């Protein structure tokens, strides 16, 4: 039996190829992506201390709210499959299953060294926008608004754009201490999923080490809860295989979703860079490798990545 049904959730660490896979699947006439609808998932958890959710967090009120929002979106899109790409959902699998017992999951897995490198670059980009207190570089409101605008454009319906805008700004659009998700990070620069205990790690680790922990916690959370999902309702994709053989991977994924791609589908998808892996070997210094190796190595070993590409 394949991945059938209305709702498929793409999980995995940020910067693991989830965005490009979501964009490609959204081109299929029978699939509609809902890009990171955090205003739905976190409506009652906006000020929660972290992004992990348990089955117990799915109270009747929360179940009704999330389920009804997804049903509304499905009906408006009028597509057989709704595909939600939200990296934070890696920390919420029991929560999602409580709301959608028949949910299907796709786990996009990438070498944690490359993922950490890419995550860290995004953190540096956010830091550049925010600037340094008292320094020559001030908070760049224009760039901050561009980031928000790009995210809002991912929402195809006006109502959802308005809800997303209010959720992300909530009256503090021009407050630089809360802009760019800084409210989630206690006024600090931050991006991506917040695992349980992130505050202590944030204070004690370098930002690069923290980014490695983000990858490790997301992947570990998925693996720890993978057994909760029936075999017919889940599939794991390695990013490195995906960019090397996209047609084979996508064909298998469509078979599992019980949808068939149009004849011209594969000629219309963007060209993937087949060499976009092991970039960490060229860009990390030996000192940076020494920082992240103790964090990443245990999981990389279990996944076989250190055998394929030794430190």
Stated pTM of the model: 0.92
More confident residue, 143 or 272: 272
Q: Residue 226: helix, strand or coil by DSSP? A: helix
> Mean per-residue pLDDT for 46-66?
97
pLDDT of 3 > 60? The answer is no
Chain position carrying tokens 């997301």:
218
Q: The domain that contains 13 carries what CATH number?
A: 3.40.50.300
> Mean per-residue pLDDT for 155-168?
90
More confident residue, 40 or 141: 40
> Mean per-residue pLDDT for 204-210?
97
In the prediction, which pLDDT does 309 show?
94
**Based on the structure, what is the number of domains in the chain?**
1
> Mean per-residue pLDDT for 93-122?
97
Low-confidence winner among 125-134, 158-167, 222-231, 282-291 (lowest mean pLDDT) = 125-134
Q: Show the 3-state SS of 111-180.
A: CHHHHHHHHHHHHHHHHHHHCCCCCCCCCCHHHHHHHHHHHHCCCCCHHHHHHHHHHHHCCCCCCCCCCC
In the prediction, which pLDDT does 74 show?
94
> Mean per-residue pLDDT for 43-72?
96
In the prediction, which pLDDT does 157 show?
95
User: Within a domain: residue 2?
Assistant: no
Contact of 220 with 303, CB cutoff 8 Å: no
User: Within a domain: residue 226?
Assistant: yes
pLDDT band of 4, cuts 50, 70, 90: very low
User: Within a domain: residue 1?
Assistant: no
Q: Show the 3-state SS of 34-92.
A: EECCHHHHCCCCCCCCCCCCCHHHCCHHHHHHHHHHHHHHHHHHCCCEEEEECHHHHHC
Give pLDDT tens digits for 126-136: 888 776 655 55
Domain housing 272 = 7-308
For 164, the token pair is: 């997303």
CA 192 to chain centre: 8
> Mean per-residue pLDDT for 186-215?
95
């Amino acid at each position: 039996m394949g991945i059938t049904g209305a709702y498929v959730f793409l999980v995995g660490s940020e910067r693991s190829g989830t965005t490009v896979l979501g964009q490609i699947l959204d081109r299929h006439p029978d699939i509609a992506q809902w890009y990171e609808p955090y205003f739905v998932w976190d409506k009652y958890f906006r000020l929660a201390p972290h992004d992990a959710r348990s089955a117990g967090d799915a109270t009747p009120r929360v179940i009704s709210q999330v389920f009804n929002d997804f049903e509304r979106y499905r009906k408006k899109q009028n597509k057989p499959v709704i595909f939600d790409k939200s990296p934070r959902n890696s920390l919420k699998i029991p929560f999602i299953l409580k709301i959608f017992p028949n949910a299907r999951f796709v786990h996009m897995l990438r070498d944690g060294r490359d993922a950490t490198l890419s995550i860290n670059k995004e953190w540096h980009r956010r830091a550049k926008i925010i600037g340094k207190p008292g320094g020559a570089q001030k908070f760049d409101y224009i760039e901050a608004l561009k980031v928000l605008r790009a995210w809002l454009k991912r929402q195809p319906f006006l109502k959802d754009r308005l809800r997303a805008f209010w959720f992300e700004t909530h009256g503090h659009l021009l407050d630089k201490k809360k802009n760019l998700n800084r409210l989630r990070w206690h006024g600090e620069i931050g991006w991506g999923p917040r695992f349980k205990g992130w505050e202590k790690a944030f204070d004690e680790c370098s930002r690069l080490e923290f980014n490695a922990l983000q990858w490790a916690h997301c992947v570990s959370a998925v693996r720890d809860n993978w057994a909760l999902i029936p075999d017919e309702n889940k599939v794991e994709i390695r990013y490195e295989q995906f960019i090397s053989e996209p047609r084979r991977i996508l064909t298998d994924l469509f078979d599992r979703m019980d949808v068939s791609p149009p004849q011209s589908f594969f000629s219309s998808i963007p060209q993937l860079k087949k060499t976009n892996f092991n970039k960490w070997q060229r860009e990390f210094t030996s000192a940076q490798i020494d920082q992240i190796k103790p964090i990443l190595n245990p999981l990389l070993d279990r996944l076989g990545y250190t055998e394929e590409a030794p430190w």
